[in-house]
Homo-oligomer: A and B are copies of this chain.
Amino acid sequence: MTAYDDLMAFQRDTEALSQVAGRLGWDQETMMAEGSAPQRAEEHAAMASVLHARRIDPRVGDWLDKATATDPVSAANLRHIQRNYDRTMKVPADLAAEIAKTTSLAHRIWAQSRSDDDVASYLPVLEKVVGLRQQEANALAAGGDRYDALLNNYEPGATGAEIAAMFAALRPGLVDLRAAILDQPKPQTLTGIFDEAAQLALSTKLALAFGYDLNKGRIDKAVHPFSSGSGIDVRITTRTNPSDPFNCFYSTIHEVGHAAYEQNISADYLLTPLGGGVSMGVHESQSRIYENQIGRSRAFTGWLYGQMRDAFGDFGIADEDAFYACVNRVSDGFIRTEADEVQYNLHVLMRFDMERALIAGDLKVTDLEAAWNDRFAADFGYAVDKPSNGVLQDVHWSEGLMGYFPTYSLGNVYAGCLNVAMRNDVPDLDSDLERGDTSQATTWLRENVQTHGGLYEPREVITKAARVEPSEAPLMSYLTTKFSDIYQL
């Protein structure tokens, strides 16, 4: 056994334990009875403690010192383990514990504040969270950029400056496109009630159509849809709303995008550092291209229209064109998670700018609500009516997830780049999608992105697949073309 072999054997158990810990989270959201929560909290804490002890195990440092890479796979494994080890060791244990304690408290206070529409009761604990994350960022950055240090928790190698440049280039086009769309007559909306069992049956059909493998996962209902797990046990959840079946269908397709990424990583990487999605941004590129560029395309929605007619009879939409417009309807609204393809990124862009300023110390927590409301009015053209529709709407900051928001739009940017290359390589894709056959698209994504897992760095895997350096231009072009067509701009 070489040092590398020892390290990988140790790491394999850590990865397996990490899957177990993740499964507890899945269970809590789908299966566990509410009364079991106090015991589950102790189970979570015990697993977290076991995992933390393994992550700071001094043998890992020793093995890393002695291990040598012999090929690109072992080099990538060592790169991941070294990076995670360095990051873990840089953060003092008492600071990590304080962050865990404070974010847990902040999450509870946030939920109450949002429910009460009371920003003031939330700000003191948010200020504490920001302060602790700044301390963590100082420890991680070692003189470098604080925000980048946090961003790299979710998007290794990315920088705030690079993302800011992309987002700044995207913003005017999105603001203009949104304004032009909202000047036009609105497409139809769905009316009526859609049977839940029929929604779930079609949801499963959609999951299978997008290549989700039910022999290595399962689909359940949850309040907030998510994908959970890596390797050969990757589970998704969806939800239903009697008057909005699109919520169910597009939640499912989105989560299948995440899950397919995990299911399609090379089996050689099972339970190794390469065996999971490489970053949140690349993950989101998969969920978004499944959901939007494929799932909300004219061709695929044509097939979906027929499926919905079969499942629900005449549901008040006259033809495929009206259905396509209905699926892609752009409406005023305050809430990021309910936003359409055009407005979604505007929500993310403002959060990115604000959290970056918070961490840099350029924006005070006490000024956050005013900054939010000003920016919202500037980009969306009307005023936030209440904090729960504004600065209190998202869970992320209460949980200390600064650096996470930009990965949503980075995923959209990446999806835009991938879509150009995929359409170029599969010119007849639409004729498949019209029949509900996504296999050429999902195969392309599997072979060009998903199979690699953590072998390449995030930006690298997108660059290889898209065959250009990623930029925001393809996304803007895609959105402009698509919505100009739908709204006859």
Contacts and interface: CB of A to CB of B under 8 A. Distances in A.
A13 B48 CA distance: 11
A36 interface: yes
Contact of A218 (B31, B42, B218, B231): B31
B31 A47 contact: no
A12 B49 CA distance: 12
A45 interface: yes
A286 to B, nearest CB: 21
Interface stretch (A17-25, A102-110, A439-447): A17-25
Given A16-B46, A39-B232, A40-B233, 8 more contacts: A16-B43, A17-B43, A23-B27, A31-B31, A33-B216, A35-B216, A39-B231, A39-B271
Interface string A191-220: 000000000000000000000011111100
The winner among A38, A218, A233 for most chain B CB atoms within 10 A is: A233
Contact of A50 (B19, B50, B217): B50
Interface of A: 12-13, 16-17, 19-20, 23-24, 27, 31-36, 38-40, 42-43, 45-47, 49-50, 213-218, 231-233, 270-271
B36 A20 contact: no
The winner among A34, A39, A232 for most chain B CB atoms within 10 A is: A39
A218 B43 CA distance: 18
A213 B35 contact: yes
Contacts of A27: 23, 27
A296 to B, nearest CB: 29
A270 B16 CA distance: 27
A47 to B, nearest CB: 6
